[in-house]
Structure 1
């Protein structure tokens, strides 16, 4: 597949300014089940893993996720760890978490990923040794639901009612970084 349309927005991958094929794994049901089982009050509307279809031998200076809208101006917040780099954008009445699976916490990862001038998420200077470590993710849910839940949580924290656990933060868009990492490790073993 060369493009995917989500909520009226087209997404695609480019390698050195050329569109490349990719596979899409819809992990929404699986990850929402995990969130619910862990006691979360919140779930995702859609959670996808985008896997580039790379040739057997390649070297790209720039591998990136792009879209046909101007999402960059609607940036809200960022979050990451040694396995992920992700940002949240509020756009098209959805809160979008779009990011990169780093696949490793080696030094190259923190220096060779980011948001390009014309892309949402990017890898720089990638070659064959990274072939099984390059993944993108797109997650979204209703903006009002996401913002409302987090505003309620902030109000709860400010109220200093520490003995009650009834109000929780909506972490569904920062979805389970460890769960995603485990999923990708299992996927690599199967293929």
Structure 2
């Protein structure tokens, strides 16, 4: 899938050359369950991760989230972020739409445009496995001023990154074990 469709419009990723294919993963159930364990009043209508499909080699000035609905300073509710994520929350029709990028190890790359829409700047293939976006949505009428469920939903970016790193390590370990087995077999064959 190359875009996320919400009731208020569409979101997609763009690089310097235009739209970029991405994998959209719906994480609503997992995140909603985590939020409700923290506070029964918390909950989301939708939360999705957008992971760009990147070439082996690239260098872009900008990798950004784009939308066909108004995301501007005029409907900005607040910017948000901590050491793991950076983004903003906007009121669009009867929804609160929040978007963020993963930034724990990318503080030099993560940025906000004037309307607080998150993007990455000056990225290349050296950080390709860390470029993650997330969008979370909930009904504005269901949100009390003290409700931090949109903010807390972005903890998923850190969890997803850790999962990616775990998968990468597992693959490395498998390749290393296979190489060691092949070397041992070759050594044994040479000794015979």
Return the TM-score normalized by structure 2.
Answer: 0.79
- Closer/same/farther in 2, CA of residues 183 and 112 from structure 1, 3 Å limit: closer
Cα offset for 1:144? 1.5
- Closer/same/farther in 2, CA of residues 119 and 140 from structure 1, 3 Å limit: same
- Closer/same/farther in 2, CA of residues 65 and 182 from structure 1, 3 Å limit: same
The two structures, once aligned, show a CA RMSD in angstroms of 2.0
Q: Which residue of 2 aligns with 1:71?
A: 71
CA distance in 2, matches of 1:89, 1:70: 9
Larger fraction in helix: 2
The question of whether the paired residues in 2 share the 8 Å contact of 1:62 and 1:125 is answered with yes
The question of whether the paired residues in 2 share the 8 Å contact of 1:103 and 1:134 is answered with no
CA distance in 2, matches of 1:88, 1:3: 19
Return the TM-score normalized by structure 1.
Answer: 0.79
Q: Which residue of 1 aligns with 2:182?
A: none
CA distance in 2, matches of 1:79, 1:58: 29
Q: Which residue of 2 aligns with 1:96?
A: 97
The question of whether the paired residues in 2 share the 8 Å contact of 1:66 and 1:119 is answered with no
The question of whether the paired residues in 2 share the 8 Å contact of 1:103 and 1:133 is answered with no
Give aligned pairs, total.
167
CA distance in 2, matches of 1:138, 1:170: 17
Q: Which residue of 2 aligns with 1:38?
A: 38
The question of whether the paired residues in 2 share the 8 Å contact of 1:67 and 1:119 is answered with no
Structure 2, unaligned stretches of length 5 or more?
Answer: 169-192
Cα offset for 1:89? 0.5
Structure 1 residue corresponding to 2:129, chosen from 132, 144, 147: 132
Tell which structure's C-alpha radius of gyration is larger.
2
The question of whether the paired residues in 1 share the 8 Å contact of 2:8 and 2:92 is answered with no
